[in-house]
């Protein structure tokens, strides 16, 4: 049964520390329904005696209250400094291992401007001064009342809180949104007995048609919606944003404490969705956060300061982790609006990192992330997000990850055998895909899901536990669909194995069949090797990460855009990365490796090409670029600083990107329109013809498009 929002009296709230509440409020639409919200809001599950009997299979939003009865009033909340000062005390915005480094994106000029973020939720008080500037009353929609005004009414306040996390304006004195320059679109729905699948489908359809990013901070009870919303999620991904695809973001849910799993929820386990878990201020997974191998990333969800009615309050739950990532998707699209929805997922996943809690991660058998495989946890996904690293990687991302470019390798296996204590069934995949996600459909003769541990072993040998001891069965449903992100970056070709362990060995269930769907891109010889600030830590556990080898030809890119330290790297010899802590990591190249493109990061870098034609981009900081032999292209963009091109020769070019143009020339010095400076390190005197404005430079990078069988 799905839980409804329940209304508690003040005295009833005193009796428990975990409550489901919508608070006693006046009914009807008004500018200000209550001056001081009666609770601090958290997602969670109420004790059974606070839950009313309502129709099953309806979406829910729940709030968890801890500690005192009233939220922190404005006079007791820490003041949030303006983005212009690049400082905040709100835990979802801080830097460091346990924050999302929002200012790392803001300092580069990315605040979500030009992007639209929709929230499908219970209503929005757009009269709140922190929302009024960014909220679009001309684009919002009420799917419950079927009108064009999504104003909060009655018991609505969750949507207002979610919206503040996304885009509270820059001049707010209490809470600044992660994407404080984005356009906010409220899409109102009802919950519990006021909801229906048709209403939610209508709301989600409106959302993807009118926005770039869609936030969904709600869930059904376990096994509730099944695949009800797969068609609308697929349609939005395929046709939204002119075919680039709407970016869907969902909260993981807050039933982690009772053993829930995101694979028991159709939206949270959808291949089209980024599902977000919650972390606390110490970097641990929040106790309430629902786990699962379909979790994509994590973001802070404890004690988040945000908008409530016309004021502010604090909230905890994955309801606030998800909009943090929705806002990050807005920042990523601000940095590169040509990205497909799969690109956004991959960039955010690749730049996520471990918090101060480093245990509980699986490392897969991929080879293009920090010299090896990606880490993933059922609690954190790929880790806590990093806004600064994500926008820098987005600036240099040349792939086109859309539904149109997505390939699916599939296999169907008929079994019809009784499952004993341990059972395995294998199938061979002939297609060679570079993987994003894998999905398994299992058909049993019964419904005792809680008795089983179900895992999938990839062709590379990585084992991902899809479901372990489901805390509740699925009613009469003997089929289950389970998704994992733990094979991201691996190749698909080879033997895949489904493994079942029965904790209750006296069962007589029959596995009738299972099927496998693998999602990704056709494997190509053109490789992109991405490095982040986690290289040093990952290499301590696996020294092979420090040797970069590429044996399949193609046109390859070594991408350090997400790195904040100082890089000294040659495409001929390798080099070193000096972290912000002073630690030095040395990278070497395997004999015979030929690489073409090299992108630097946020530090003062030294980048050197090799004997072939190279594309070199210093990125941020004051960089030295040296192409070596060949006809080389030097790529300059925003916030260049003072870059030196040490061996420029006639016939080579400097590409000016990101709207930057040539302002003036003075001998060996070129001034750019954003104040950047490029100096010729030799006696070469600049000519205007050496500089070319190239706004589509990512599309103009050469590609071989050679497939790997």
Torsion of CA 303, 306, 309, 313, to 10 degrees: 30
User: What tokens does 92 get?
Assistant: 């979802």
10 Å CB burial of residue 370 (0-12, 13-18, 19+) is buried
> Distances from the Cα of 326 to the Cαs of 97, 128, 385, in angstroms?
20, 20, 11
Q: Examine the residue annotation and report whether 319 is marked as an active-site residue of this protein.
A: yes
Phi/psi at 377 (nearest 5 deg)? -130, 145
d(CA 670, CA 656): 12
What DSSP state is assigned to residue 611?
S
What DSSP state is assigned to residue 50?
G
> Distances from the Cα of 665 to the Cαs of 216, 661, 679, 685, in angstroms?
51, 12, 10, 9
688: helix, coil or strand? Answer: helix
> Distances from the Cα of 545 to the Cαs of 374, 451, 484, 549, 562, in angstroms?
11, 39, 24, 10, 17
Query: Which of 617, 231, 556 is closest to 393 using CA atoms?
Result: 617
Phi/psi at 163 (nearest 5 deg)? -65, -35
617: helix, coil or strand? Answer: strand
What DSSP state is assigned to residue 236?
H
Q: Examine the residue annotation and report whether 193 is marked as an active-site residue of this protein.
A: no
Q: Examine the residue annotation and report whether 378 is marked as an active-site residue of this protein.
A: no
Cβ(72)–Cβ(313) below 8 Å: yes
- Of 4, 6, 40, 121, the catalytic one is 121
Half-sphere exposure of 504 (CA within 13 A, CB side): 10
The H-or-E segment that residue 691 falls in is strand 691-693
- Per the document, the length of the chain is 709
10 Å CB burial of residue 617 (0-12, 13-18, 19+) is buried
E-strand stretches of 504-641: 510-522, 528-530, 547-548, 557-559, 566-570, 574-578, 584-589, 597-599, 606-608, 615-617, 624-626, 633-636
Rg value, the chain, Cα: 26
Residue entry with tokens 């990205």: 339
User: What tokens does 452 get?
Assistant: 């089983």
Query: How many CB atoms sit inside 10 A of residue 265's CB?
Result: 26
d(CA 294, CA 436): 11
What DSSP state is assigned to residue 257?
G
Residue 599 neighbours by CB under 8 Å, 6+ apart: 396, 557, 558, 559, 560, 561, 616, 617, 619
- Of 6, 40, 122, 158, the catalytic one is 158
Cβ(308)–Cβ(157) below 8 Å: yes
Torsion of CA 411, 412, 417, 418, to 10 degrees: 80
Residue entry with tokens 């684009």: 139
10 Å CB burial of residue 630 (0-12, 13-18, 19+) is middle
Cβ(348)–Cβ(394) below 8 Å: no
d(CA 627, CA 634): 8
- Of 182, 319, 330, 570, the catalytic one is 319
Helix axis angle, 318-335 relative to 341-351, nearest 10°? 110
Residue entry with tokens 């929805």: 341
Q: Could you list the active site residues?
A: 121, 158, 319
């Amino acid at each position: 049964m799905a839980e409804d929002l329940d209304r508690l009296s003040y005295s009833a709230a005193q009796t428990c520390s975990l409550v489901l509440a919508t608070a006693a409020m006046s009914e009807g639409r008004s500018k200000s329904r209550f001056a001081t919200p009666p609770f601090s809001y958290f997602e969670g599950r109420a004790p059974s005696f606070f839950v009313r009997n309502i129709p099953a299979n309806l979406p829910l939003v729940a709030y968890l209250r801890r500690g005192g009865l009233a939220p922190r009033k404005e006079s007791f909340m820490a003041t949030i400094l303006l983005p212009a000062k690049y400082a905040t005390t709100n835990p979802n915005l801080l830097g460091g291992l346990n924050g999302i480094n929002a200012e790392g994106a803001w300092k580069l000029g990315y605040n979500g401007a030009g992007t639209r973020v929709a929230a499908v939720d219970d209503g929005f008080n757009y009269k709140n001064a922190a929302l009024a500037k960014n909220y679009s009353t001309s684009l919002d929609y009420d799917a419950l009342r079927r009108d064009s005004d999504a104003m909060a009414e009655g018991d609505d306040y969750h949507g207002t809180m979610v919206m503040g996390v996304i885009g509270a304006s820059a001049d707010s004195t209490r809470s600044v949104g992660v994407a404080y320059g984005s356009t906010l679109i409220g899409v109102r729905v009802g919950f519990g007995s006021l909801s229906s699948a048709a209403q939610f489908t209508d709301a989600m359809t409106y959302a993807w048609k009118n926005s770039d990013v869609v936030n969904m901070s709600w869930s059904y009870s376990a096994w509730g919606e099944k695949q009800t919303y797969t068609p609308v999620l697929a349609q939005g991904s395929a046709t939204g944003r002119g075919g680039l695809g709407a970016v869907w973001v969902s909260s993981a849910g807050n039933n982690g404490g009772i053993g829930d799993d995101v694979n028991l929820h159709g939206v949270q386990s959808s291949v089209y969705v980024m599902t977000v878990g919650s972390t606390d201020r110490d970097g641990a997974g929040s106790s309430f956060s629902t786990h699962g191998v379909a979790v994509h990333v994590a973001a802070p969800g404890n004690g988040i300061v945000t908008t409530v009615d016309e004021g502010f309050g604090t909230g905890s739950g994955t309801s606030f982790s998800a909009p943090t990532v929705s806002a990050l998707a807005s920042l990523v699209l601000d940095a590169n609006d040509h990205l497909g929805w799969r690109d956004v997922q991959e960039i955010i996943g690749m730049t996520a990192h471990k918090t101060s809690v480093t245990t509980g991660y699986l490392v897969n058998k991929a080879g293009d992330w920090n010299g090896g495989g990606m880490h993933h946890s059922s609690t954190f996904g790929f880790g806590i997000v990093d806004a600064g690293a994500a926008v820098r990687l987005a600036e240099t991302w040349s792939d086109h990850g859309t539904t149109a470019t997505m390939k699916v390798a599939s296999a169907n296996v008929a079994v019809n055998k009784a499952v004993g204590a341990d059972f395995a069934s294998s199938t061979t995949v002939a297609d060679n895909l570079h993987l994003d996600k894998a999905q398994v459909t299992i058909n049993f003769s019964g419904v005792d899901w809680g008795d089983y541990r179900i895992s999938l072993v990839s062709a590379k040998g990585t084992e991902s536990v899809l479901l372990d001891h489901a805390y509740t069965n699925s009613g009469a449903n003997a089929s289950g669909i389970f998704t994992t992100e733990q094979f991201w970056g691996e190749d698909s070709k080879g033997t895949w194995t489904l493994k079942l362990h029965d904790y209750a060995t006296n069962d007589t269930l029959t596995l009738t069949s299972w099927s496998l769907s693998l999602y990704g891109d056709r494997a190509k010889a053109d490789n992109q090797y991405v490095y982040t600030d986690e290289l040093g830590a990952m290499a301590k556990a696996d020294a092979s990460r420090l040797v970069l080898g590429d044996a399949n030809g193609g046109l390859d890119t070594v991408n350090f855009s997400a790195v904040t330290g100082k890089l000294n790297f040659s495409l001929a010899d390798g080099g070193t990365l000096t972290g912000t802590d002073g630690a030095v990591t040395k990278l070497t190249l395997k004999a015979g490796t030929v690489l073409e493109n090299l992108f630097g990061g946020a530090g003062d870098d030294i980048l050197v090409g090799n004997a072939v034609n190279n594309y070199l981009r210093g990125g941020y900081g004051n960089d030295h670029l040296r192409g070596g032999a060949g006809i080389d292209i030097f790529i300059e963009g925003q916030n260049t600083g003072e870059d030196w091109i040490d061996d420029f020769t006639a016939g080579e070019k400097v590409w000016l990107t990101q709207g930057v143009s040539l302002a003036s020339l003075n001998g060996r010095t070129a001034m750019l329109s954003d104040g950047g400076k490029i100096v010729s390190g030799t006696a070469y005197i600049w000519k205007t013809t050496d500089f070319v404005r190239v706004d589509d430079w990512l599309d103009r990078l050469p590609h071989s498009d050679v497939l790997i069988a």
